[in-house]
Structure 1
Amino acid sequence: MLGFALNTLRHRKAGFAGAFLALLFAAALVCACGVLLDTGLRGAVQPERYAGTPLIVAGDQNVHRVEREVDDGEVEVKDKAKPVAGRVWIPASLAARIGTVPGVREVVPEVSFPAHVAGGPSAVGHGWESARLTPFTLRAGRAPTTAGEVVVDASVRGSRITVLTAAGPKAYTVVGVTRETLPNQVSLFFSTAEARRLAGRPGQVTAIGVFPAVDVSAALAGSGALPYTGEDRGKVEFLGAENARIRLISLGGALGGTSLLVAVLVVVGTFALSIQQRQREIAMLRAIAATPRQIRRMIGGEALLISLVAGAAGAGLGLALASLLRSMFVSLGAMPGNLPLVVGPFPPAAAVLAAVAGSFAAARVSARRTSRIRPVEALGDAALPSARLGVARLLAGLAVLAGAVTLTLVLSGLSTEAASSPVVMLTAIVWTIGLTLLAPVVARVMTALLGAPLRLSRAGGYLAAANLRAAIRRTASVIAPLTLMVAMSCTIFFVQDTMGDAVGAESRDGTRAGLVLGPRVSPAAADAVRRVPGVEAVTEVLRTTVRIDLEKYSAQAVTPGGLASTMDLGVVSGSLDRLGESGVAVSEVAAGRLGVKVGSPLTVALADATPVSLTVVAVYSRGLGFGDLTLPHALAAPHADDRLAQTALVSAPGVAASAITAALRAHPGTEVAPAVGGDGGSGGDGGSVNTAVNYVAMGLVIAFTAISVVNTLAMATADRARELTLLRRVGATRRQLLSMLRLETLTAVLVAVILGTAVSLVTLTAFANGMTGVPRPYVSPWTYLGVVAAAAVLALAATGVAGRLALRARA
């Protein structure tokens, strides 16, 4: 039957084009997601600053938990590790110990710290002694020798610059310019003493360069430092590299799983429609004694041939798509530019395998009913297709809907974004799959209700109502991808909107200050504003993340003085007055996860992995708006990488903003704005970046779904050329037939919008209940109307083009 299948494909190219396109884009998505996943698992960031140093000694960037498991009497020790958000510093005295190791010729200590050029780029400051690591050499000028001198790389312009650091702004004279520049960082070099002062870490260094690369493990014993060579040097140079890799693993896995489910659903629908369009042909084969097994083998052979070609082409397209995604993620700041894609054989192979397996399964499932019809009934069934559901499909649909209900209940109890995010999309897809399986029944009921108004209109409406009623299975095939598109689009857009609205509401309700300072606020700038007459309180707010027993929590570090005048966290027990230097306030959700209450001890690993023992002094309700934990600023700020990356809330009733602006004249980079709410407890973890990445990634799924909508509608309309010709011969005009097609399409869109909206609303309500405690999702009316309009425009365009071509072909 394989030869027969090949012959069928040769003579029905147009009929199989829709299935080919569905498989092509499905394979492309799977391949692109696989490349992202593979890059996250095996990718490595190339070192830049440390490229000329064979061995780097730096801190262990992870917190650890040792677990002992007993298996068949044997004790297995597992060391679990998670990366921290900030840089782990090491003792400067370690350099002397390393220098005594046999074979070591040179040891170069290094300090790195954020140094923002006023009116210019953000840079990284170093001591000139560590220029040897890259190495940097002077193109002009000399090395810095005093506290007021600086050497800049060739990307910085000017003979005198103002540099902003946590120690405050200071003007420096440029005494030298380096010959080298680095692609992803701007470098400033100060004298050794000045660099140590600006770094604010007395007795500590960022890293130690060792020449040549020898075994220094004995010298590092007990220090907490680790040796890094080869590509591992990029990890310690670019701290965001590990987070980017973890993001790619999570994104590739989640997007790949979602894409695969959507692809299977689309491909099954496409093949089902393709086989429906061949009912007469298959019926003829059954009538001339073709067995059910032969029919299944023929259809399976067709699917195999199409999927092999589409899978191979889709894999190539997927590689290009992965490259495009990488470029977009780099531009968004979600991954470093020197993290190249890992292109191995497995993602393309997985794409081809997914296309083959998906198409073969889809073809066999779609052909199941047709191949089992008795020969004597085959032609009659093809002439008058039934909309009745088989028992197996009905039971499967009900079972899937039961699974969707279970997922919805589970989702309504998930209170963390990490846990709920993958379940949200899965819930929406499972609801859609259930409705797709029951689509003929749903389509019959909905078209019966909506067909009555159509029959009251002129010829086009009458014909549309009659066609919708007679061709239920075709209508169901069109409704399914439209429902998927609406459901997925609404869910993706409004999940982010629901979270944003909840975060914004808590931030607005909890912000009592009238003004906010930012985006960079040094302690000196905050003190300058405190001295302005009439200012009641200035609360410095530093966003960060911490680890508690390996789990990551968002946190804000605040100055306790006058806190009640600037923010209201919604304290439900305890008091923020006892925050002091060893207290911690915890949100209700975090307290539930940690099992703590007021008075409980809590060990927290700060941004640089420093463990601190704290006492819970308060539990508050506004965790979405202000973070999971609230820490004393004096405790957390010294352990942050960039202590300038903070804001300050100002309570100053009756004080003009101009007076505060005047106090900040000596502090460039700090501006005054009305306080309209906090930043939503982002925890310094790039919440807006993650949101943008999610939109880009899930936008691919929406685009694929939109393509499937156009594909399905074009297939369904193009196959009706014989029907349209017959209607023309019995007196229907071209205008009436196009009107009929438009009304049919609009009816299908309306049904799909109702179903898709219901699916997304149920999913979003469960999500909102779990994440915010209130089962009320936020839906932007303009965004919703945009989704509906996009569905209608795509559907009408696909139907209109295919309909005109069909009419022209039969003219």
Structure 2
Amino acid sequence: MELMISFALSTLRHRKAGFAGAFVALLCAAALVTACGLLLETGLRGGAAPERYAGAPVIVAGDQFVRRTVRDDDGEVKTKAKALSERRWIPASVAAELARTPGVERVVPEVTFPVGAALGHGWESAALTPFTLASGRAPKADDEVVVDARYEGRALTVGSRRYRVVGVTAQALPSQDTVFFSTREARRLAGRPGQVSAIGVFPAVDVAVKGAVAYTGDERGTVEFLGAEQARVMLISLGGALGGTSLLVAILVVVGTFALSVQQRQRELALLRAVAATPRQIRKLLGGEALLISLAAGVPGSLAGILLGFWLRSRFVALGAMPDNLGLVVSPFPVVAALLATVAAAWAAARVTARRTARIRPVEALGEAAMERPKLPWGRLLAGVLALAGGVVLTIVLSNLNTEAASSPVTMLTALVWTIAVALLGPALARLVMALPVRAPGAGGYLAAANLRANTARMAAVITPLSLMVAMTCTILFVQTTMGQAAADQAATGIRADHVLGPGAPAAVRTVPGVRATTDVLRTSVRIDLERYAAQAVTPEGLDQTMDLGVRAGSLQGFGERSVAVSSTAAERLGVTVGSALTLTLGDGTPASLRVAAVYARGLAFGDLTLHHALVAGHVDDPRGTLLVAGGDRAALERAAGGAPVEYPAEITMSNAAVNYVAMGLIVAFCAIAVVNTLAMSTAGRARELTLLRLVGTTRRQVLRMLRVETATAVLVAVALGTGVSLVTLSAFSRGMTGSALPSVPPLTYLVVVAVAAALALAATALPARLVLRRRPDGAIGARE
């Protein structure tokens, strides 16, 4: 073994260029897997540091989870929990109960509510940070406020009421602007009589109150930043799905890279067999090379993955998908896991690609190296057929999935399995293509056609990363456009209102001359059996003049606080019809028992459920919603509203589109690197062939034309295959999510994808070819391959 490792090290030293491609592929794979592991670990173990509650050792607040006790198949009782989307408030009387607890010296109740882009509180809760006054005094009257150090101005307007700034704090929180009101005014503006959002307890003592939870340490940040828990769930889901997809893509790319490397070394390996090297020794040699390359690439790649993880976190923070104070958890586990995965993938790839070369008999070795095998090995053919069958099964499954959580990972997996089938059956597909009677004119075209027919395995190795890049890019991009277009179409058809006003529209707009009807709309989410459903709450008066949900069954006439309308997709999932009872949990954990009044079609634009505004308004953190207005003059509405009407924010089911673009874009970038890597390796490995062509009289221009024709052919085949894979996947996805098998594919975007793939392929071929052709033909023929 030591001898073969030494031999492998020697071959690496003398064939640096040949192994550079494998090194790059493994380095990128290690970085990608490490970054995904960091996201996953942050979701599992991360915590948000408190800001507003940093000065209170204990925060008592509502349980921010909805829980359900279930019994599994083994009879074991378990409790499952899911995060609430809104803040659960607790009775104000809990403060008095806490004050009587032994060891408690002081309790500070807190209310939190939106004030424009800031958060409002009562001045009594300033000690929770703590906030101190830099100038002025505390608010005493109901029309007085204290603002934080970032605020500029002497007055503040909330709705139609104007407040005087009587004090400025010495502090300002990093991620939130703060406004303090008098205690009585804060309780009025919060709109939750007899309730508080949290209670600070001093000093740090153990407290227990029925119906509330005590939070300490970073748990205080979780209750302060409700988005932190949702971000952790997102990171777990995204990190797991992205990590799994990345690993599969990495294995596919690394196997292709090693296959090309071994193919280029057929003569060398055949010569070793001819001089009595055993199959076991050949396998050890290639395994040793893979081990050395993977370690050399995996260590810096894993460390680079840490930097990539920090970059991903910064993008997610910028997109608002996670709070800034949810720090990235960095530990050795993702780094070690990525390194082990990289080594295992490289070793397995090398052993798989070496099986045929190692098994041939010594007397056949040189002949096998000179001629391409006319048929696929039975093992590869069987694996390709199984991959095709897997692609068909996943496509059928995907066409029946109608939720984002279920369809997103299956969509990527479906595209990947189809691409694996293409990779396994690549040589057969290449031979099929080259059997077509098509040939480019001129000597370069003739040589290209001859080369492609004689070496379909090399063409297949080039097609695989190209088709993977096109398939993954189109799938990632057009999943979002398909959902976005479907939601936009439903919103355009379903909104009958002439004007749409943003949050906080004053009551004066309802009395503008010509206004026939107005509808208040709130967006929230609810839980049914722990599953999350997007919901809207509306005022039913005049709803038929402002909104058309596309009711298929039932009616919205007489729609009351105990009524619910359900989208057809949600009704199918829940198994309910008109008249069915439906029990759900509102965003803040409040249970509600309702009756299904109608089933409607336009769930992508208007949410899975439609509830009565009065039922929901008191159970959301921000009761300001959108106002739909039928009739009225635009200019008059602008004057009454103090601002211009805004576009209706149709809720799209794929709500994390930007996050998905950033995350999955890394896989696309990896595929692009694999394309450049493979083509550069393929061209550089043909130095002897290109030099020989120059020696027999072929001009430099003809050689370059030959390579361009070969690359163009590979691009056309790869684009056709990648497009076919993505269309099959997208059609299944669209069928399940929108009911239509026709995905939305913007032609210009698709042409850009194709143009980028072609440009990368041509550049990756032309640059190494020009370097090879710079050598003198008579001096380069004896150079190493």
Q: Same fold (TM over 0.5)?
A: yes
Q: In the alignment, what sits opposite 1:705?
A: 671
Give the TM-score normalised by structure 2: 0.97
CA apart distance, 1:671: 3.0
Write the mapping of 1:314-393 to structure 2, written as runs, cut at 5 A: 314-393=301-380
Q: 1:671 aligns with which of 631, 644, 665?
A: 644
Write the mapping of 1:86-105 to structure 2, written as runs, cut at 5 A: 86-105=86-105
Q: 1:200 aligns with which of 191, 206, 210?
A: 191
Correspondence 1:473 to 2:457 = yes
Q: In the alignment, what sits opposite 2:725?
A: 759
Q: 1:398 aligns with which of 385, 388, 392?
A: 385
Q: 2:180 aligns with which of 174, 183, 189?
A: 189
Correspondence 1:508 to 2:492 = yes
Which amino acid is 1:286 matched to? R
Q: Distance in 2 between the 1:145 and 1:139 partners?
A: 17
Q: 1:749 aligns with which of 715, 721, 730?
A: 715
Write the mapping of 1:614-625 to structure 2, written as runs, cut at 5 A: 614-625=594-605
Q: In the alignment, what sits opposite 2:110?
A: 110
CA apart distance, 1:810: 4.5
Q: Distance in 1 between the 2:356 and 2:72 partners?
A: 52
Q: Is the 8 A contact 1:554 1:681 kept in 2?
A: no
Which amino acid is 2:626 matched to? T
Q: Distance in 1 between the 2:637 and 2:165 partners?
A: 32
The alignment of Structure 1 onto Structure 2 pairs a total of residues equal to 774
CA apart distance, 1:701: 0.1
Q: In the TM superposition, what whole-angstrom CA distance separates every residue of 1:396-417 from its partner, at most 9, and x where no partner exists?
A: 1001100100000011111111
Q: In the alignment, what sits opposite 1:38?
A: 41
Q: Is the 8 A contact 2:65 2:83 kept in 1?
A: yes
Q: Is the 8 A contact 1:293 1:371 kept in 2?
A: yes
Of stretches 731-740 and 483-492 in structure 1, the one that deviates more from structure 2 is 731-740
Q: In the alignment, what sits opposite 2:782?
A: none
Correspondence 1:770 to 2:736 = yes
Q: Distance in 2 between the 1:428 and 1:664 partners?
A: 49
Q: In the TM superposition, what whole-angstrom CA distance separates every residue of 1:193-245 from its partner, at most 9, and x where no partner exists?
A: 1111111111000100000121221xx12xx1100011111110100000010
Q: In the alignment, what sits opposite 1:286?
A: 273
Q: Gaps (5+ residues) in structure 2?
A: 778-785
Q: Is the 8 A contact 1:560 1:632 kept in 2?
A: yes
What's the secondary structure of 2:375's corresponding residue? coil
Q: 1:364 to 1:681 in 2, by over 3 A?
A: closer
Q: In the alignment, what sits opposite 2:171?
A: 180
Q: Distance in 1 between the 2:41 and 2:166 partners?
A: 46
Q: In the TM superposition, what whole-angstrom CA distance separates every residue of 1:575-623 from its partner, at most 9, and x where no partner exists?
A: 0113111100001111111111111111121111111111110011111
Which amino acid is 2:197 matched to? T
Correspondence 1:546 to 2:526 = yes
Q: Is the 8 A contact 1:28 1:315 kept in 2?
A: yes
Correspondence 1:9 to 2:12 = yes
CA apart distance, 1:681: 5.4
Q: In the alignment, what sits opposite 2:781?
A: none
What's the secondary structure of 2:774's corresponding residue? helix
Q: Distance in 2 between the 1:753 and 1:681 partners?
A: 30
Q: Distance in 2 between the 1:182 and 1:660 partners?
A: 36
Q: In the TM superposition, what whole-angstrom CA distance separates every residue of 1:777-797 from its partner, at most 9, and x where no partner exists?
A: 111101100000000000001
CA apart distance, 1:444: 1.0
Q: Distance in 1 between the 2:67 and 2:776 partners?
A: 72
Q: In the alignment, what sits opposite 2:517?
A: 537
Q: In the alignment, what sits opposite 2:24?
A: 21
What's the secondary structure of 1:731's corresponding residue? coil
Q: Is the 8 A contact 2:514 2:633 kept in 1?
A: no
Q: 1:681 to 1:370 in 2, by over 3 A?
A: closer
Write the mapping of 1:209-608 to structure 2, written as runs, cut at 5 A: 209-217=200-208, 220-221=209-210, 224-449=211-436, 452-454=438-440, 457-518=441-502, 520-522=503-505, 525=506, 527-608=507-588
Q: 1:792 aligns with which of 755, 758, 761?
A: 758
Write the mapping of 1:148-163 to structure 2, written as runs, cut at 5 A: 148-163=143-158
Which amino acid is 1:602 matched to? L
CA apart distance, 1:448: 2.8
Correspondence 1:734 to 2:717 = no
Which amino acid is 1:452 matched to? V
CA apart distance, 1:521: 2.8
Which amino acid is 1:7 matched to? S
CA apart distance, 1:695: 0.1
Which amino acid is 1:660 matched to? L
Q: Is the 8 A contact 1:308 1:356 kept in 2?
A: yes
Q: In the alignment, what sits opposite 1:119?
A: none
Correspondence 1:76 to 2:71 = no
Q: Is the 8 A contact 1:570 1:622 kept in 2?
A: yes
Q: In the alignment, what sits opposite 1:51?
A: 54
Q: In the TM superposition, what whole-angstrom CA distance separates every residue of 1:300-356 from its partner, at most 9, and x where no partner exists?
A: 011011111111111011001001111111111111111111111110001110111
Q: Distance in 1 between the 2:652 and 2:713 partners?
A: 44
Q: 1:680 aligns with which of 651, 654, 663?
A: 651
Q: In the alignment, what sits opposite 2:591?
A: 611
Correspondence 1:662 to 2:639 = yes
Q: Is the 8 A contact 2:148 2:168 kept in 1?
A: yes
Q: Gaps (5+ residues) in structure 1?
A: 117-121
Which amino acid is 1:357 matched to? A
Which amino acid is 1:634 matched to? A
Q: In the alignment, what sits opposite 1:145?
A: 140
CA apart distance, 1:385: 2.2
Which amino acid is 1:716 matched to? S
CA apart distance, 1:678: 5.2
Q: Is the 8 A contact 1:387 1:472 kept in 2?
A: no
Q: 1:418 to 1:389 in 2, by over 3 A?
A: same
Q: Distance in 1 between the 2:44 and 2:312 partners?
A: 17
Q: Distance in 2 between the 1:545 and 1:708 partners?
A: 41
What's the secondary structure of 1:671's corresponding residue? coil
Q: Distance in 1 between the 2:697 and 2:775 partners?
A: 18
Write the mapping of 1:716-727 to structure 2, written as runs, cut at 5 A: 716-727=682-693
Q: Is the 8 A contact 2:536 2:611 kept in 1?
A: yes
Q: Distance in 1 between the 2:94 and 2:78 partners?
A: 29
Which amino acid is 2:48 matched to? V
Q: Is the 8 A contact 1:578 1:617 kept in 2?
A: no
Q: Distance in 1 between the 2:73 and 2:383 partners?
A: 42
Which amino acid is 1:714 matched to? A
CA apart distance, 1:70: 7.0
What's the secondary structure of 1:452's corresponding residue? coil
Q: Distance in 1 between the 2:202 and 2:472 partners?
A: 55
Q: CA RMSD in A?
A: 1.2
Q: Is the 8 A contact 2:708 2:765 kept in 1?
A: yes
What's the secondary structure of 1:21's corresponding residue? helix
What's the secondary structure of 2:157's corresponding residue? strand
Q: Is the 8 A contact 1:543 1:681 kept in 2?
A: no
What's the secondary structure of 1:576's corresponding residue? coil
Q: Give the share of equivalent positions with the same residue, in percent.
A: 66
What's the secondary structure of 1:607's corresponding residue? coil
CA apart distance, 1:387: 4.2
Q: Is the 8 A contact 1:58 1:89 kept in 2?
A: yes
Q: 1:358 to 1:603 in 2, by over 3 A?
A: same
What's the secondary structure of 2:719's corresponding residue? helix
